[in-house]
């Protein structure tokens, strides 16, 4: 089995990877592109009997939406509806989702957070309406159960690795699904949802622009927003990858370039402030003129101060002048593009902090659908440090990606 996540999400894939034991890639008709999505689906189908694509937001929310992805590749939609406070409305909502857009492939409906067997029967009856509707299969009811609820925080689900009983929660959810019509489906029934993924067009070979280079990647609970596909791109470009943990105060390994990805530095500000060995080694790396690419949380670490939501101020690593302040409201969200001399990187932005700095941006990203001047994210540069709130999808331009990790590559 393989699972994918629709849209630019870092957190849900952690749970999907734990559930499947396989890497989880993102699919987005704008950010990753149709050809990239087709190639990943085609490759997964060659080695797996079952493919699940988790949607994003509501079925029709976003541009492009989960519905757009489903329709483009013929993926049958299974609607999971929180039915905790409804009965007859469940049928109306399911009917609307199914018929809102003509031609949307449809698999059926699963009711979630159901109160009782009687409640489940009411929901199933609601799908029938006046008795004439039979085209939306009721695929079961999952009872309300705290044993498989998942905790959340300001950016979404808590990362699976932080939950001691994460696997037990997934097992409990699987047990709850096992006795539903969805869980009891045999191969013949599942075959009705069979999809034939076309082979993608052949892509031109990419030069191994990072051959012979070593890229050190920060990876721990504070820096965990890493697309597995981004690591694949760096390896395909010829880079050798090594990993280190700023939280564990590990020095930066010997390398030619460093990547500080996003994550949750605000949750570990005190520990990071005390990670003096890692800070010193990163400063030495930068002083030697070797590239450092920092995204979102990775950039937050580099400023002089980080102020938490509780108003506590922590000294950060001071490679960039300024202060980052957490806030209760979302500061930015949406797909973005970064234009570099070597090409255009696509990606997104999603953060609850704002930064105040004397630095002038050397570039700005642009919203995918356009917008007012200055509406994108700032990209800062100090010496060999380049930093921004923007999260890049490296496969959108391997050439532009390589330039981030080469001295002077984005000039």
Enumerate the active-site residues. 296
Determine the Cα–Cα distance for residues 158 and 146; give it in Å rounded to an integer: 16
Query: Which two three-digit tokens encode residue 90?
Result: 């469940």
Query: Which two three-digit tokens encode residue 281?
Result: 């080694």
Best CA proximity match to 66, nearest among 51, 56, 80: 56
Query: Which two three-digit tokens encode residue 3?
Result: 């699972």
- Specify the long-range contacts of residues 111-114, CB closer than 8 Å, at least 24 apart: 111/81, 111/83, 111/138, 111/140, 111/141, 111/142, 112/80, 112/81, 112/82, 112/83, 112/84, 112/142, 113/82, 113/83, 113/84, 113/142, 113/143, 113/144, 114/83, 114/84, 114/141, 114/142, 114/143, 114/144
Cα 167 to its chain centre, rounded Å, is 20
Determine the Cα–Cα distance for residues 282 and 251; give it in Å rounded to an integer: 8
- Sign, CA dihedral 196-21-148-266, equals negative
């Amino acid at each position: 089995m393989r699972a994918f996540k629709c849209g630019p999400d870092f957190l849900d894939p952690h749970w999907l990877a734990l559930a499947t034991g396989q890497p989880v890639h993102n699919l987005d008709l704008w950010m990753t592109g149709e050809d990239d999505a087709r190639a990943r689906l085609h490759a997964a189908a060659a080695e797996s009997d079952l493919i699940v694509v988790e949607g994003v937001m509501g079925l029709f929310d976003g541009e492009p939406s989960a519905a757009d992805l489903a329709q483009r590749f013929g993926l049958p939609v299974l609607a999971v509806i929180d039915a905790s406070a409804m009965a007859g409305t469940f049928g109306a909502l399911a009917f609307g989702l199914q018929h809102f857009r003509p031609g949307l492939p449809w698999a059926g409906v699963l009711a979630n957070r159901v109160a009782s067997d009687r409640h489940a029967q009411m929901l199933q009856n609601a799908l029938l309406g006046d008795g004439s509707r039979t085209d939306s299969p009721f695929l079961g009811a999952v009872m309300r159960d705290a044993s498989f609820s998942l905790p959340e925080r300001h950016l979404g689900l808590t990362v699976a690795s932080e939950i001691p009983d994460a696997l037990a929660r997934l097992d409990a959810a699987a047990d709850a699904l096992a006795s539903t019509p969805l869980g009891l489906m045999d191969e013949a029934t599942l075959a009705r949802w069979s999809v034939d993924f076309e082979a993608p067009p052949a892509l031109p070979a990419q030069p191994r622009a990072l051959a012979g280079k070593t890229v050190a990647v920060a990876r721990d609970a504070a820096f965990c927003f890493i697309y597995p596909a981004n690591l694949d791109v760096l390896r395909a470009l010829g880079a050798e990858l090594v990993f280190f943990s700023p939280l564990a105060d590990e020095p930066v390994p010997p390398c030619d370039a460093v990547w500080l990805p996003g994550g949750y530095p605000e949750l570990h500000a005190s520990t990071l402030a005390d990670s003096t060995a890692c800070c010193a080694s990163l400063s030495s790396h930068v002083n030697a003129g070797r590239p450092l690419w920092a995204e979102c949380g990775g950039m937050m670490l580099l400023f002089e101060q980080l102020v938490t939501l509780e108003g506590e101020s922590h000294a950060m690593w001071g490679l960039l002048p300024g202060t980052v302040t957490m806030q209760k409201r979302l500061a930015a969200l949406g797909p973005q593009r970064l234009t570099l001399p070597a090409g255009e990187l696509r990606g997104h932005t999603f953060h609850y902090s704002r930064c105040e700095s004397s630095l002038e941006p050397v570039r700005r990203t642009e919203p995918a659908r356009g917008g007012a001047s200055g509406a994108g994210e700032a990209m800062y540069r100090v010496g060999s440090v380049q930093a921004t709130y923007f999260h890049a999808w490296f496969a959108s331009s391997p050439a532009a990606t390589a330039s981030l990790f080469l001295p002077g590559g984005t000039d």
